[in-house]
Amino acid sequence: MLHLEHHGPIARLTLASPENRNALSPQMVQDLLGAFEDLKTHASTRAIVLSAEGKVFCSGADLKNLHHLLSASSEDNLQDSRQLARLFETIYTHPKPIIAAIEGKAIAGGAGLASACDLVVASSEASFAYTEVKLGFVAAIVMVFLLRSVGEKHARELLLTGDAISAAEAYRMGLINRLTEPGQALSRAMQLAEHIARNSPVALSSTKTLLANLPSMGLHEALQHAAQMNAWARTTSDLKEGITSFLEKRAPKWQEPSDG
């Protein structure tokens, strides 16, 4: 089950299946995909906070479903895997900033879910574990985003040992951005989302596009692409409003796009 609430410019998505440790069942994956896709064109939403009910943020794959797929065809398994990959890619490339608020355990694909978000705010009592190797599984999809989050050496340690790490250790590795007191992750994440939401929607979306694309480019290609984006940004109404409001010493009034 997934809950969606709107708090002004912030959309809050809550994983609400604590009895199943908020596992990434096929239905949960589908619900998350649908919600994130809808929020792409929800004009009044400027940032998204992903949180969860219960003591486990997300336990990763639904093991009952995974057990069922052991006897399924290769095509069925590939389709299921591609759906999960699509969810992670949708989060990572989403035009609006996404902040994970984590109070409890983030395990396997659940830790990967956090890795795909733009920012992670976690309680000091949270923990992270990429446990796939302990089950004879491979954290293949998760690995794509973990490598970008913490670099190769930290990723190797997390993926090869499968051991859990504390929130403090995750912060040291760069897996999380803000460390909070117990029970404060959601409120801090909402505050951070509201702070980010004050920025230009066009600039935020364009920045996210660059963040997703630049790491896979060579130096020359990246600079050419960046130059094109830089030149395009100079033609936008948001830049005009941003410079004008700065010179007039007032808060900017960003143009509201229409829902579509």
- Helix H or strand E segment including 257: none
- 132 in catalytic set: yes
The pLDDT of residue 71: 72
Residues of the chain falling short of pLDDT 70: 67-69, 257-260
The partner residues of 180 in beta bridges, in order of sequence, read 123
The pLDDT of residue 257: 60
CA angle (158, 160, 162) in 5-degree steps: 60
The pLDDT of residue 69: 64
**Active-site position among 5, 103, 132, 256:** 132
Helix ranges (DSSP H) in 21-73? 26-40, 63-69
CA distances from 32 to 25, 52, 60 (A): 11, 12, 13
CA angle (77, 3, 43) in 5-degree steps: 100
The pLDDT of residue 260: 44
